[in-house]
Amino acid sequence: MRAEAPPVVLTLAGSDPSGGAGIQADILTLASLGCHPLSVITALTVQDSAGVHDLMVIDADWVNDQARLLMEDMPVAAFKVGLIGSVENVAVIAQLAADYPDIPLILDPVLASGGGDAFADEDLIGAMRDILLPHVTVLTPNSIEARRLGSNDPDEEDDLTLDESASRLLSLGAEYVLLTGTHENTTEVINTLYSTDGTARAQHWERLPGSYHGSGCTLASALAAILACGSPMLEAVDDAQEYTYQTLLNAYRPGMGQHIPDRMFWARETEENEQAP
């Protein structure tokens, strides 16, 4: 008897050949949490664990054709979107979301690499604000991304509070904003879930030493996976944060750059337990 297929999640993101972030991180996370990942590559990068050296955006027709063919073949339970790469790709993804409005869309607004390499100009950011955010179920920006997306003028970014940034992003159409506080000058990392009903729900996490490559990809993909598996929103947000925290606790440093979250930490823990006397 054939096994029932696991929930299917479609991720649209850039390729990171180091395996730390991007579509490779999405695939690892989705598989780790029991989903079948479909992957549409929006951009190719030349990068390692220390930084991005070059970027090539995939033609929007290719992005569209990849996604449409998969959507006609398999029942997708959630979308996860990362690095988009161009205004044309924003339009393709927005139209895809409009055509499948019942599928939750988790957007990790990748505007720059962890090393500060720019992935989005003002035109692309404007397109995200105007045509993509109205289709977003959960937006998962860090504080830098939230201020940049939420500002009406680049000169006001530094003056925006996180509450005001989240309020503006909700007004642009996102149903929820899960704003992560890794880049804030706080003793603990404070992640806050904002919703259109006006509520804000903060969770505090130990601030871990070192820097990590792909933590945002991991969180957004985990949330997409857990929602695809049928969990309600608040439970999914809690579980996705806990999973991400565990991947960071078990992170490793295989190269000369940042640490990489261990998305399969649970499998290695099992192996260690089995080998223990």
Model pLDDT, residue 175: 97
Task: Report DSSP state, residue 135.
Answer: G
Q: Is 21 exposed, middle or buried (0-12, 13-18, 19+ CB in 10 A)?
A: buried
Model pLDDT, residue 157: 65
Complete DSSP assignment for 96-117 = HHHHSTTS-EEE----B-TT--
Angle ∠(231,232,234) on CA atoms, nearest 5: 115
Quick check: 30 and 93 in contact, CB under 8 A? no
Model pLDDT, residue 273: 53
Q: What is the Cα–Cα distance from 124 to 184, expressed in whole angstroms?
A: 25
Ordered structural domains, the chain, with CATH = 8-275 (3.40.1190.20)
Tens digit of pLDDT at every position of the chain (277 positions): 677 899 999 999 999 999 999 999 999 999 999 999 999 999 999 999 998 999 999 999 999 999 999 999 999 999 999 999 999 999 999 999 999 999 999 999 998 876 666 788 899 999 999 999 999 999 999 999 999 999 877 667 677 899 999 999 999 999 999 999 988 889 999 999 999 998 999 999 999 998 999 999 999 999 999 999 999 999 999 999 999 999 999 999 999 999 999 999 999 865 555 554 4
